[in-house]
């Protein structure tokens, strides 16, 4: 197959010849050069007959129009990674005009040079899937893959013009194209779309919605409780019990499995419901122009090409390009992490690679209009918005298993293998001895029941559930049980700044009024000499200008006035009110008749007021101190006006730079009495002073960081803020302890080699100007070093990092819904200080699970040893499956539950976190377990031998064995309270009231089968006499003494190998 294309578009490939009728030269290009290299080599440059026209991974869905085709692409469905590959590659192809990808269908719509066939385009797409056709210089940021790169060929306006109904997205960075070109790209008109046209686009594009992370269904939650090998083995033993004629055994087994699943389901479903209750889904309304009139529509009905009307407080529901802006500022903190509202304008940016936070001519879904007004044309809706891309990136991220999940999974696997091996060996040995297939099959089932501690899943689940309940009391909501323990394993905690470490609101820190510096604190306005004099003339004027030069709305209620507006203006008006100014009265006395908003170049705002008397203000000005100061000639000090000389000007500039260097937002205030002063170009203003503001830290953050450092946890801040602001917050909060925080500007990470990147991530305390995709990279880079990473955040931009972290932690009150949806932990009241309690609870939970598992494994191994020994005893009767169930359910579960309720050890937050890669039990620990199990089983077998000698095989002997084994196991729970020997005092043995209670309950239950005939017959036991009781008691005490001796010897050995200096 051969194609013709303009020679200038095909990079000189093929051979040239004059076109028919003269004119442009054409180039004849073999299709083979567009095929993968492997195909060309096989075919000698010509496509062989057995090579399909379309690659296997790319199918043509619709291609009736030359230069326009819709393809289905394998692996594209809901894959942000595949989409990034395709969009990056297509953005670098000079013959591709536009591209639109739909993750919901896995389809790709491409508009390309008509000289290319649909087949050739398909092969290019196939090459992109392998990364073979990536153009040099293509963007690597998966959050914004449609940015233009240097050398990218601009589409010719009007070429392949789409129908208005289809309204394709612009494949280029539409912040960097002329406004008219952006309007044409989505077939928009300034008067707005027609009603029918908008409806057609809505049908074509789909609703303006983001996929909502559906909570796990009740069925899925319940089934998740049974996904482990031990549970599967218990289910298999139940089937075997049915098959061998023991339905009661089978029902008991299934009852145990079901009870464990019920506990886990009840706790996790409760947590899911609580989190859903605080993350309700709501829909906003949007003002748009339709057929020249402003209409109020549901946000889901917004389509590309709509003209959106922007007003203060409006939620922005789509990505759009600004058409008009009048003092327009937008709060983008949820998307970029920048706490200061961003001024917007309608110009064109030169930098096609500008990050989101610097695209001043665009607005993005999920942000809020802070002040001013404007119009914008919608360029992207739904999953095609920046938030949609972040959400897709979130979907690609997956948290790793917690250490307890990995350990229990590994332990369960080993237990199953051990059980199958021992059961098979016992069965084979019994059959070889002629004991019969069916009896030995029942014995093998009994051994399987003994080998798998039925209480293990229940104890682990119950312990985690109890930890979840304790955290819930502290307003820490945990979605997954394993995340309770996961909190305790963290050794790195990453924090978003805005809204997490800080309150995401502005407050005034200090003023420089005249020649006096005033600090704002809980006691009000203070100076070095005491309280500030608020009656000074310049101070009164300063507060009046703060009240006048704003668009804050005042709402009166029973508790006083409420101020609504941008965080900066609310902070200034609140300052005036705290200073004794009646804001409403001052506004009434100085009515405003015009406002000149700040712009990108003119960084100050002017309000003109109707001047009633000589003392009244004509112009009130606030803005960039440098620019405001340039318009001032005099300043007021102690009520006297004086010319601003060079020394005074230098002092003001130096103070402005000092405050800015501390991460504060600084504004200059000035005014004029002259009614003739032009607000568009004010002159001869009276300088009043500086006001410094900041987004204040949440209470207790410095103490919390110190607590984390004491616990051996590294703290890191990841923010979209500027480096200076991030450094100031990090220093104030003590993020690096006593050392100076190391600040890394994320813009510099691109130029680093992989090794330099890893070193930088490992050494940095603060990462500034970080995009959502970069946050995800930082989290993963930390994890690759072996760290267990927790991420706290509240914004949309935190979603991918929250999802990828080992434990994602979101704010509940001020956090974005998308952040809460993917987090493992939600702090309901936004009190981050409870996180320390959460980590302590996680560490205690791990320690208690370890104690409980220690007890269960040692006792179950002793049961295996007893049954195995009985199997090798000629003519002996083995313990029945029902006996094993009774032991495992009554005498295992209750003491293990008591151990799980052990109080946290002293100083649990004064030691480093454990190594996440270190196993819960080492080979030496398993040897210790075997020794303990050997002592317990030896005492039981001694009683068994006594019974054989006195009574022979039968119920009396089984009663002796059964009771001694149970009693020795119960006492062993006391030995499992500590890893070190602390003596045999009452406090050391009986210091856990919960364990004491469960041991008493288990002891009482143990008497039941010996005293109650129906249960005694069910278990195949017989009554015991006084001498039997003495034998049982002696065996119990001998076992306890033997294991305490082992514990003491281990403690002495550890002390000798690790002497205290």
Contact between 198 and 298 (Cβ < 8 Å): no
Please choose, from the candidates 808, 836, 908, 793, the residue with its C-alpha nearest in 3D space to the C-alpha of residue 402. Answer: 808
Distance of CA 949 to the CA centre of its chain: 65
SS3 69: strand
The structure tokens listed for 105 are 């269908």
Contact between 456 and 412 (Cβ < 8 Å): yes
Q: CB burial class (10 A; 0-12, 13-18, 19+) of residue 214?
A: exposed
Please choose, from the candidates 693, 727, 641, 339, the residue with its C-alpha nearest in 3D space to the C-alpha of residue 512. Answer: 693
Q: How many CB atoms lie within 10 A of CB 150?
A: 8
CA dihedral sign, ordered 301, 306, 309, 310: positive
514 secondary structure, DSSP code: T
Tell me the C-alpha distance between 785 and 806, whole Å: 13
Q: Which residues pair with 826 in a beta bridge?
A: 477, 810
Tell me the C-alpha distance between 216 and 25, whole Å: 62
Report how far apart, in Å, the C-alpha atoms of 456 and of each of 280, 464, 904 are. Answer: 37, 12, 21
**Which residue's entry shows tokens 């313990």?**
879
- Asked about 496 being catalytic, the answer comes back as yes
- Name the region of 372 (left: φ>0; alpha: ψ -120 to 50; beta: rest): left
The structure tokens listed for 786 are 């072996």
Residues with Cβ within 8 Å of residue 334, at least 6 apart in sequence: 366, 367, 499, 794, 795, 796, 797, 816
Tell me the C-alpha distance between 842 and 292, whole Å: 60
Tell me the C-alpha distance between 748 and 763, whole Å: 15
SS3 58: strand
Tell me the C-alpha distance between 458 and 258, whole Å: 10
Contact between 257 and 239 (Cβ < 8 Å): no
Strands lying side by side in the sheet with 476-478: 476-478, 825-827, 807-811, 789-793, 492-495, 714-718, 766-768, 743-745
Tell me the C-alpha distance between 727 and 985, whole Å: 53
Please choose, from the candidates 267, 505, 243, 476, the residue with its C-alpha nearest in 3D space to the C-alpha of residue 370. Answer: 505
Reported for 234-237, long-range contacts at CB under 8 A and 24+ positions apart, including other chains, are: 234/449, 234/452, 234/454, 236/448, 237/445, 237/448, 237/449, 237/452
Report how far apart, in Å, the C-alpha atoms of 187 and of each of 182, 190, 290 are. Answer: 9, 10, 14
Please choose, from the candidates 905, 784, 920, 953, the residue with its C-alpha nearest in 3D space to the C-alpha of residue 853. Answer: 920
CA angle 22, 25, 27 (to 5 degrees): 140
Q: Which residues pair with 518 in a beta bridge?
A: 511
The structure tokens listed for 83 are 């989409």
Report how far apart, in Å, the C-alpha atoms of 669 and of each of 549, 619, 666 are. Answer: 9, 11, 10
Active-site residue, from 496, 574, 721, 798 = 496
**Which residue's entry shows tokens 């496509």?**
47
315 secondary structure, DSSP code: B
Tell me the C-alpha distance between 672 and 590, whole Å: 13
What length does the chain have? 1061
Contact between 457 and 404 (Cβ < 8 Å): no
User: Which residues are part of the catalytic machinery?
Assistant: 496
């Amino acid at each position: 197959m051969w194609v013709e294309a303009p020679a200038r578009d095909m990079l000189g490939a093929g051979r040239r010849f004059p076109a028919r009728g003269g004119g442009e030269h054409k180039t004849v290009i073999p299709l083979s050069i567009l095929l993968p290299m492997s195909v060309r080599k096989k075919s000698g440059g010509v496509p062989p007959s057995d090579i399909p026209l379309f690659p296997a991974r790319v199918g043509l869905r619709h291609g009736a129009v030359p230069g326009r085709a819709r393809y289905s692409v394998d692996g594209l469905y809901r894959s942000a990674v595949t989409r990034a590959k395709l969009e990056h590659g297509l953005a670098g192809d000079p013959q591709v005009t536009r591209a639109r990808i739909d993750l919901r269908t896995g389809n790709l719509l491409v508009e390309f040079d008509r000289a290319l066939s649909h087949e050739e385009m398909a092969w290019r797409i196939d090459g992109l899937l392998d990364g073979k056709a990536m153009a040099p210089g293509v963007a690597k940021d998966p959050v914004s893959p449609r940015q233009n790169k240097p050398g990218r060929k601009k589409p010719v306006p009007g070429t392949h013009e789409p129908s208005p109904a289809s309204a394709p997205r612009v494949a280029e960075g539409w912040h960097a194209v002329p406004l008219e070109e952006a309007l044409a790209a989505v077939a928009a008109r300034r008067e707005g779309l027609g009603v029918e046209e908008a409806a057609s686009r809505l049908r074509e594009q789909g609703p303006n919605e983001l996929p909502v992370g559906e909570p796990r269904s009740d069925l899925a939650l319940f089934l998740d409780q049974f996904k482990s090998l031990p549970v599967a083995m218990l289910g298999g033993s139940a089937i075997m019990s049915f098959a061998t004629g023991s339905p009661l055994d089978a029902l008991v087994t299934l009852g145990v499995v079901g009870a464990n699943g019920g506990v886990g389901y009840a706790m996790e479903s409760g947590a899911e419901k609580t989190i859903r209750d605080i993350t309700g889904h709501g829909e906003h309304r949007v003002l748009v122009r339709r057929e020249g009139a402003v209409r109020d529509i549901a946000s889901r009905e917004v389509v590309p090409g709509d003209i959106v009307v922007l007003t203060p407080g409006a939620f922005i529901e789509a990505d759009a390009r600004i058409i008009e802006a009048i003092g327009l500022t937008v709060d983008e903190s949820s998307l970029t992490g920048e706490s200061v509202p961003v001024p917007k304008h309608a110009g064109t940016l030169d930098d096609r690679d500008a990050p989101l936070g610097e695209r001043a001519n665009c607005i993005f879904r999920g942000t809020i209009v802070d002040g001013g007004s404007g119009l914008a044309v919608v360029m992207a809706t739904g999953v095609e918005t920046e938030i949609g891309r972040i959400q897709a990136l979130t979907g690609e991220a997956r948290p790793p298993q917690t250490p307890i999940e990995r350990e229990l999974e590994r332990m369960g696997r080993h237990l199953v293998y051990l059980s199958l091996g021992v059961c098979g060996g016992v069965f084979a040995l019994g059959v070889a001895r002629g004991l019969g297939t069916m009896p030995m099959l029942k014995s093998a089932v009994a051994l399987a029941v003994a080998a798998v501690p039925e209480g293990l899943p229940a104890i682990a689940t119950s312990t985690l559930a109890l930890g979840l309940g304790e955290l819930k009391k502290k307003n820490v909501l945990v979605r997954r049980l394993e995340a309770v323990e996961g909190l305790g394993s963290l050794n790195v905690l990453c924090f978003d700044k805005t809204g997490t470490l800080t309150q995401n609101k502005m407050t005034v820190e200090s003023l420089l009024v005249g020649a006096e510096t005033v600090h704002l604190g809980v006691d009000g306005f203070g100076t070095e000499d005491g309280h500030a004099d608020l009656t000074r003339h310049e101070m009164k004027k300063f507060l009046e200008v703060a009240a006048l030069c704003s668009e804050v709305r005042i709402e009166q209620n029973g508790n006083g006035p409420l101020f609504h507006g941008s965080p900066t203006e609310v902070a200034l008006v609140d300052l005036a009110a705290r200073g004794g100014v009646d804001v409403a009265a001052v506004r009434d006395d100085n009515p405003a008749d015009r406002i000149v908003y700040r712009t990108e170049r003119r960084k100050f705002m002017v309000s003109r007021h109707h001047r009633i008397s000589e003392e009244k203000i004509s112009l009130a000005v606030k803005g960039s101190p440098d620019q405001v100061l340039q318009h001032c000639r005099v300043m007021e000090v102690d009520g006297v006006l004086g010319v601003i000389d060079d020394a005074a000007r230098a002092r003001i500039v130096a103070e402005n730079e000092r405050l800015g260097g501390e991460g504060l937002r600084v504004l200059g205030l000035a005014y004029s009495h002259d009614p003739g002063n032009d607000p568009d170009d004010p002159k001869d203003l009276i300088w009043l002073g500086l006001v410094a503001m900041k987004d204040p830290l949440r209470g207790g953050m410095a103490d919390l960081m110190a607590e984390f450092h004491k616990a051996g946890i590294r703290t890191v801040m990841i923010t979209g803020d500027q480096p200076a602001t991030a450094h100031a917050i990090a220093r104030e909060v003590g993020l690096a302890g006593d050392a100076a925080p190391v600040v890394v500007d994320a813009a510099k990470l691109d130029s680093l080699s992989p090794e330099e990147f890893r070193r930088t991530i490992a050494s940095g305390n603060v990462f500034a100007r970080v995009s959502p995709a970069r946050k995800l990279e930082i989290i993963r880079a930390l994890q690759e070093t072996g760290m267990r990473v927790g991420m706290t955040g509240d914004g949309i931009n935190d979603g991918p990092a929250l999802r990828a972290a080992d434990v994602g932690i979101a704010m509940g009150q001020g956090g974005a819904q998308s952040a809460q949806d993917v987090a493992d932990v939600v702090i309901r009241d936004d009190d981050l200080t409870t996180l320390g309690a959460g980590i302590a609870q996680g560490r205690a939970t791990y320690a208690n699970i370890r104690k409980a598992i220690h007890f269960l494994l040692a006792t179950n191994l002793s049961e295996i040893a007893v049954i195995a020994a009985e199997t090798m005893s000629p003519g002996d009767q083995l313990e029945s499956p029902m006996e094993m169930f009774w032991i495992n359910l009554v005498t295992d579960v209750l003491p293990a539950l008591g151990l799980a309720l052990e109080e946290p050890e002293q100083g649990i937050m004064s030691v480093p976190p454990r190594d996440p890669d270190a196993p819960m039990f080492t080979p030496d620990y398993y040897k210790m377990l075997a020794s303990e199990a050997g002592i317990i089983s030896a005492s039981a077998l001694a009683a068994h031998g006594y019974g054989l000698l006195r009574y022979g095989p039968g119920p009396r002997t089984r009663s002796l064995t059964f009771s001694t084994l149970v009693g020795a196991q119960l006492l062993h729970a006391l030995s499992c309270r500590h890893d070190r020997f602390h003596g045999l005092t009452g406090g050391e043995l009986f210091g856990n009231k919960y364990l004491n209670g469960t041991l008493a309950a288990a002891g009482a239950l143990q008497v039941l089968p010996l005293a109650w005939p129906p249960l005694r017959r069910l278990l195949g036991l017989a009554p015991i006499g006084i001498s039997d009781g003495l034998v049982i008691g002696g065996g119990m005490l001998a076992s306890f003494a033997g294991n305490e001796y082992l514990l003491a010897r281990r403690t002495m050995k550890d002390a000798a190998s690790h002497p205290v200096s």
